[in-house]
Structure 1
Amino acid sequence: MPSSDVPGVNDSSRRAAGRLAAAAIVTYQLLLVAAVVARPDIDVTHKPVSEYAIGRPGWIAVAAFLACALSYAALAAAVPGRTARVLLVICAAGTAGVGVFVADPVSTPLDRLSTIGTLHVIAGLSALLLLPFAALFAGGRRRWLPLAGLLGHYALSVVIPPEGWPPRLLFLTYAIWVVLTAQHIVQQLRPTVPPRQQRAT
C-alpha cells in the first residue's frame, strides 16, 4: 500500500488512525447494544436506531453516533486516495449530524418533521448512501462489502419492516468493512525490520 499523499501524514500516523478507526467503530456497536438494553420499550424490529436517541437515555445513542463519526474520520486519515478520504469526511460529518440533530419519532409524517428532524434525515442519508462509494474508491478486496450491504438493505426492506433489522444489518456491514480495512492498512504499513547482517568471521 503506497504512502499517504497527504502532506505531513506519515505511515506511523496512518497506522494510528487505522487503529483508532477500528476501536471507534467497535465502540459504536457496543454502545448500540447498550442503548437497546437501556430502552427495552423500543421494538428493534420496527423502530430505527435513531429512536434510541430520544429521551433521557438518549445520550447513549448520541455517543454511539459520535463514535461512528470518529471512526469514519480516522479512517479518512488512513486510507489512500483523495476521493475516498473526501467521501469518508462527508460520511463522518453526516454521522456526527445524526447524533447532534436528534430525530423526530419515527411516526412523524415527513411533511411535519421539525427542522432538527429534517437535518437528522439529511445527515443520515448522506452517510448511509456515500459510504459504499468511499469504500469503492478506497480500493482493496473488501471494497464491495458496503455496497453489498446497501443492496441487501433495500432487498430486506421489501419483505420486513424497513426501520428495524435492515438498517441495523447494514450498519453492521459498514462496521465490518471499517475494521477489515483498518486492519489491512495497519498490517501493510507495519515497519519492516531489516535482516541482521551476519557477523564477519
Structure 2
Amino acid sequence: MTTIAVTVPVRRSSDRLLLAGALAGPVFFASAVTQMLTREGYDITRHPISQLATGRLGWIQITTFVLAGLGGLALAVGARRTLTDGIGRRAVPIFVGVFGAGLVAAGVFTMDPEYGFPAGTPEGPVGEMSWHSIVHSAAAAVAFTALAIAAIVLTVRHARRRALLPAVLNGVAALILLLPMSPSRMSIQIAVNGLVAFTWTTVLAISLRRVS
C-alpha cells in the first residue's frame, strides 16, 4: 500500500511535467504567429522570430521564450523519470534540458534591432553586435544543437528496438536542425527549425505520457 501511495503522486507529477513540455511548442508558436501578424513592420522573410523580443512590445516574446524554455526543462525532468532503461535514458533528458535552458537564456538576452524592425529602426544590419545579442545567438545555437543530439540518440534507441518509423523521423528532425544556416534565407530557416524542434518536443512529451 505504501509503495502505491508513493508511486501515484510521482506519476501524476511526471504527467504534469510532460504536459508542460507538450504545451511549450504550441504556446510558443501561437504567441509568435500572433505577433508576426500584428506588429508593425515585421516581415518573416527579413526578421527572425527572435527579433520580436525587441522594441516596446518585446516583453511578450521574451516571456514566450522563457515559458517555452521552462516547458523544455519540465520535459527534461519528465523524460528523466520516464526513460528508465535502454539507450538514451540519461542522455536524452540532459540534452533536452540544455535545450530548455538555452531558450530561457535566448529570451533573457535579446538580439539587436535591425533591418527596420521594430518600426523606426534604421534599415540594414546592425553595425556591431551587442554582447547580449552575441549571447542570444550562442544560446539559441547551443539549444538547437542539443536537441538535434537528443534526436540522434533517440534514432539509435529506436533503431536498436527495430522501430523503423520513429528512428527515421528522429533522424530527419536531427538532420534539419543541423543544416547550416543560409544567410539569404536565415529568418525562414530559423522559423522552420523552431517548428521542427517544437513538434519534436511535443511528440516526445505525448509519447512519454503514454508510456508513463
Aligned equivalent of 2:206 = 183
| 1:16 and 2:16 matched | yes
Unaligned runs of 5+ residues in structure 1 are 1-8, 190-201
Task: State whether residues 101 and 120 of structure 1, in contact with CA within 8 Å, keep that contact through their aligned partners in structure 2.
Answer: yes
Measured in 2, the distance between the counterparts of 1:186 and 1:65 equals 24
Deviation at 1:100, TM superposition (A): 0.4
- Letter in structure 2 aligned against 1:135: A
Moved over 4 A (4+): none
Aligned equivalent of 2:5 = none
Deviation at 1:102, TM superposition (A): 0.9
Deviation at 1:117, TM superposition (A): 1.4
Unaligned runs of 5+ residues in structure 2 are 1-8, 84-88, 115-124, 159-165
The share of aligned pairs that are identical, in percent, is 23
Measured in 2, the distance between the counterparts of 1:74 and 1:101 equals 21
Measured in 2, the distance between the counterparts of 1:144 and 1:68 equals 23
**Matches for 1:84-99 after TM superposition, within 5 Å:** 84-99=92-107
Match of 2:176 among 128, 145, 149: 149
Aligned equivalent of 1:104 = 112
Deviation at 1:176, TM superposition (A): 0.9
CA displacement 1:80-129 (0-9 Å, x = unmatched) = 222111112221111111110011135125xx211111111111111121
CA displacement 1:142-194 (0-9 Å, x = unmatched) = 4324313225x548x37xx33221110111011111111111111111xxxxx
Measured in 2, the distance between the counterparts of 1:51 and 1:163 equals 12
| 1:165 and 2:165 matched | no
| 1:121 and 2:148 matched | no
Task: Give the alignment's Cα RMSD to 1 decimal.
Answer: 2.1
Task: State whether residues 18 and 75 of structure 1, in contact with CA within 8 Å, keep that contact through their aligned partners in structure 2.
Answer: yes
Question: What is the TM-score with the length of structure 2 in the denominator?
Answer: 0.74
Measured in 2, the distance between the counterparts of 1:62 and 1:34 equals 14
Measured in 1, the distance between the counterparts of 2:141 and 2:206 equals 27
Task: State whether residues 21 and 182 of structure 1, in contact with CA within 8 Å, keep that contact through their aligned partners in structure 2.
Answer: yes
**Matches for 1:48-59 after TM superposition, within 5 Å:** 48-59=48-59
Measured in 2, the distance between the counterparts of 1:145 and 1:22 equals 20
SS of alignment partner, residue 201 of structure 2: helix
Deviation at 1:53, TM superposition (A): 0.8
Deviation at 1:48, TM superposition (A): 0.9
Task: State whether residues 91 and 131 of structure 1, in contact with CA within 8 Å, keep that contact through their aligned partners in structure 2.
Answer: yes
Q: 1:115 to 1:57 in 2, by over 3 A?
A: same
Q: How many residues align?
A: 175
Structure richer in helix, relative to its length: 2
Task: State whether residues 38 and 57 of structure 1, in contact with CA within 8 Å, keep that contact through their aligned partners in structure 2.
Answer: no
